[in-house]
Amino acid sequence: SQQGEEDPQALSIQEGENATMNCSYKTSINNLQWYRQNSGRGLVHLILIRSNEREKHSGRLRVTLDTSKKSSSLLITASRAADTASYFCATTSPYGNKLVFGAGTILRVKS
């Protein structure tokens, strides 16, 4: 069963613009993670935010978490053509030991 759902399904922006992707989930979580997947490749871990954290930064990435709304957002600032990829959120439950992935957002950054 897939817990996370990303929104939008696809996003196309110009280089230099910011990109925002949203993730909603259904049950309590231990943490929420964001991953990037380039076409035909494996996933790469970007950032992890714990259930007791509200915001986290890593370079041009900013992740927020609102546990009351069961949602998270990933903001990529000053996007580059190299940011073109699919982005997935994944959650872990307080009791489980595995990730549950959403269907992903396809981001295209045009140069």
Partner 1 sequence: DGGITQSPKYLFRKEGQNVTLSCEQNLNHDAMYWYRQDPGQGLRLIYYSQIVNDFQKGDIAEGYSVSREKKESFPLTVTSAQKNPTAFYLCASSITGNQPQHFGDGTRLSIL
2 binds partner 1, rule: CB under 8 A: yes
> Cβ closer to partner 1: 100 or 109?
100
| Binding-site string for partner 1 from residue 83 to residue 102, where x marks contact by CB under 8 A and - marks none | -----x---x---xxxxxxx
CB 72 within 8 A of CB 63: yes
The rounded distance, in Å, linking the Cα atoms of 34 and 95 is 20
74 binds partner 1, rule: CB under 8 A: no
Least separation in angstroms between residue 16's CB and partner 1 is 28
49 binds partner 1, rule: CB under 8 A: no
* Nearest by Cα to 62 from 12, 11, 21: 21
- Number of residues near partner 1 (by CB under 8 A): 24
**φ, ψ of residue 79 in degrees (nearest 5):** -60, 155
